[in-house]
Structures are given as C-alpha cells and as structure tokens.
Amino acid sequence: MADTAFVLIVEDERAHGEAIAEALSRSNYACNVVGSGSAAIESIRQRPPDVIVTDYKLGGEVDGMQVLREAKQRNPDSEVILITAYGSESLAREALSQDSAHRAYDYLIKPVDIDVLRDKVNRAARQALSAREARLLRTQADQAFDFCGILGSSDVILREVKRVQKLAKSKSTVLIVGETGTGKELFAMALHANSPRSGKPFKVLNCAAVSETLLESELFGHVKGAFTGAIADRKGLVQSADGGTLFLDEIGDMPLPMQAKLLRTLDTGEVLRVGTNDPQYFDVRFIAATNHDIAELVRNGTFREDLFYRLHAQGAIHLPPLRHRREDIPVLSHRFLQQSNREHGTQFEAVSSEAMRKLVNYHWPGNVRELRNVIFRMCLEGDEPTLQADDLPEHLRASTDIVRMGPPSLAGMTMADVEKLHIMNTLRMFGGNREKTAKALGIGARTLYRKLRDYGLR
C-alpha cells in the first residue's frame, strides 16, 4: 500500500499484544499496543487508527464492543477486528451483523493464527484507506466551485476567478497569461459571459495559426480587388464581433507590423480594411492571451512595449499550471469522466485510488488539456466501472515522482490558512503518508493529527 496504515492493538495480555504488533510491523504497519479498553479509547481520541485489533472481553470496565463504538463514532472509516474465545463466536457474529454504523469488520477465535490475522488486517487496512481517500475526494468535490465551466477548489485558481468576476464588468482590455492547456480560452469566455456584452458575439482569432500576409485581412477584413483572390468584400473579425468580444489567442506570436495596427484599433476603435483608406469604427472589447513571457518578448524587441502596456493596463490574469493546483485534479478528473460518458455512451463511475494517486503525482506538461485527454483515453481502454491504474497511459503508469509544487502567493492569507495550505501540500507530496508528513514538517505525529482534525483535513 502507498500509505502506512495505523493499527491499534488492544490486548490485556501484554505479551500477546506485542507479538501481534511485531508480526504486523513486518508488513510495514505502524502499531500501538494498549492493555485496556479505557487506554484504547484514549488512544483513539488522540489519533484515530485505520484498523483496531481488540479482544472482545477486556479486563476493566470497558470491553471490546465499547472500543468498537468509540472507534466508529470518532472515525467511521476505521475497521475493527474482534478476537474472541472459543464458544463466544455468537457475540462476535452479532457485532458483524449489526446494521448500525458500529459494525465490526471481522473476528478471530483464540488461539490466533498470526497469518490469518495478518491477512484480515491487510484487507481491513485496504478498505479503511480507500474509504479515507474516497471521503477526502468527496470533501474536495463538495468544496469545489464551478464558474462558467472553470472547476476547482484551489486558492490559486479561485484568486483568478475572482479577478475575472471583477474585470468582466469593465470595458478594459484584458491579458491572460498561462502555459498551453491551462484554459485561457475558457477564462476569456467567462469574461465575456459575465460582461454586459454577453448577448453579443464572441469571436476568436489564433494569431499563431494564420500567416502574416492573411492576418490583417482576418482581423480587419478587405475590399474586393485588394489582392489576388479577393473577389468580394469581406468582413474582418473586428467587424463580426461588433458590440461583443474578440479573443486574440497567442498574441505573443503576432508580427510587429500587425501589432502597430492593432494598437491603433485598441486606442481609437478605428479599422482600415485591406485595400482601402476609409476608416470604420466598431465597439469591441479585446481579450488577449499568450503562453509567452511578454515582458521578455519586449526586452528582446519582438513585442511592442506600448502594446504590452495597453494590454496590461488592468494587470493580467495569470493561470497556474496544473502542477501548481494538484488539489483540483480529482474533481477535474471526475468532470472529464462524466464528459466522456456523455460523448461516448459509457458508464464509468470513478477513478480508483491508485490511479488517482498517479494522476495527482504526475507533472502534467500539457496541463488541464492533457488531463482531459488522459481521462478520455482511459475511458476508451477501461473495462470496469472504476478506472484502474492499468488503464493509464504507459508514461503515467511508470511515473512515481512527485513534481514539487511552486510556491503560491500567500499575500492576503491568514496564518491559519497558510499553515493549512502548507500541511495540505506536504501531505500531498508524501502521497497521504502522515508519518512522513509529520517528520517533514518537523512536528510530532500527535500534533499533525490534531491539526488535521482542527482544519477538517482528517
């Protein structure tokens, strides 16, 4: 298992408890042995275990059933294995058949076969860890927002969504900066959809996909006879977007001569069609996007400084790469799974914990677009309702390294929010392993568990 399960052993005969702990420790479990039911309840309150192995009858006032009830109340994901004496099996079977939340996972009869116990603990631990991961995913999904198709729960993406909501109401030109596949066009559409121009046209021009000789005609239009092949007047995209929004994608690839003409249009609203000197005027809001560092292009002389400042007048929307918003990967994956089901008529229900761990740990050079393509491919390859790690493309199945996340901006966050984010990122870096997380944070395991509980991350 990728995570280390914590096993609480409750045995009033200390030597028996130590023997069980030694056997389970060889299977890489973290074990704690206590000698009474009251000590078990105290341990559960301090650190809820994944699996509890407890004698049904314990010396003292607290028996195994009370330990079971306390464990389930504190952490419903905990699994409890009861140990009972020969002739008392009916009591343990009754604990297994209960319909309430206080149901035991399994039981064993003394004398305990250590191999059988290890097998039952293995299965119980897998179930507990899977339930914990599923609960975390549900929590992430519940906390996620969906703004015009922009999905996530991370602070870095929420910050940019709030900027969209503010900038949408203005008439100003907006610059969107982000790596390929981060969703720049989706953000541009959200700006348009939430603006007073939402009922008007939204047009798109990819500046990198049109040759320099045709770019002016695409943008401004031309008149009949302006050049060979111009057999009729043609409207440009600026005219087609009149009253609405024109999205100029990959503006960093626009040739310098066109940059000068675009700057004049931005400043005056004036458009000169190719082949005429008669100006036309249109009311268009411009949104530009690039995956380049435009400031670097300005320094290199390949992008006009005055156009840069014109585009950057209200600041830029900076879209984070997916590796900087890993907490959004589960909810994005589920959305893409649903999209694939609709488009391909499939009925996949979820992504397995192991497969999700691979997805979260991958470095995603193609960002959200690459994640969507991977999920769609998995849906074509998968045979079970839950997508498995074997359904991943080969390069993701072989990937084990976590690419460390770049430091997010902490400005404006409370100290509690900063601590919570740091704990979440460190926990994610170690694949949910709480022991390694505590060590990396320089705090004790009990302190980490208390903070996880306080921040609702447990």
Instruction: Calculate ∠ Cα 7-10-14, nearest 5°.
Output: 115
Q: Do 29 and 125 touch, CB atoms closer than 8 A?
A: yes
Lowest mean pLDDT: which of 232-241, 388-397, 442-451?
A: 442-451
> So what's the pLDDT on residue 137?
67
> So what's the pLDDT on residue 436?
76
At 260, which CATH number? 3.40.50.300
What residues form DSSP beta bridges with 146? 151
Q: State how far the Cα of 181 lies from the Cα of 319, in Å rounded to an integer.
A: 10
> So what's the pLDDT on residue 15?
87
Q: Do 351 and 333 touch, CB atoms closer than 8 A?
A: yes
Indicate the pairing of strand 285-290 with strand 174-177: parallel
Dump pLDDT digits (tens) for 208-263. Answer: 999 888 899 999 988 887 777 778 888 899 999 999 999 999 999 999 999 999 99
CB neighbours of residue 202 within 10 Å: 20
Between 72 and 288, the higher pLDDT residue: 288
pLDDT band at 89 (very low <50, low <70, confident <90, very high): low
3-state secondary structure 254-295: CCHHHHHHHHHHHHHCEECCECCCCCEECCCEEEEEECCCHH
Dump pLDDT digits (tens) for 22-73. Answer: 888 888 888 999 989 899 999 999 888 999 999 888 877 888 888 998 888 8
Percentage of residues in the chain with pLDDT exceeding 70? 87
- Examine the domain organization and report whether 257 and 335 are in the same domain: no
Count of structural domains within the chain: 4
Between 367 and 109, the higher pLDDT residue: 367
Instruction: Round the average pLDDT of the chain to a whole number and report it.
Output: 85
pLDDT band at 399 (very low <50, low <70, confident <90, very high): low
- Which tokens sit at 25? 């420790």
- Examine the domain organization and report whether 40 and 69 are in the same domain: yes
- Examine the domain organization and report whether 295 and 282 are in the same domain: yes
Domain for residue 1, yes or no? no
Domain final residue, candidates 318, 346, 375: 318
- pTM score, whole prediction: 0.65
- 6-10: strand order across its sheet: 30-34, 6-10, 51-55, 79-84, 106-109
Q: State how far the Cα of 148 lies from the Cα of 127, in Å rounded to an integer.
A: 36
Q: State how far the Cα of 76 lies from the Cα of 47, in Å rounded to an integer.
A: 13
Domain for residue 142, yes or no? no
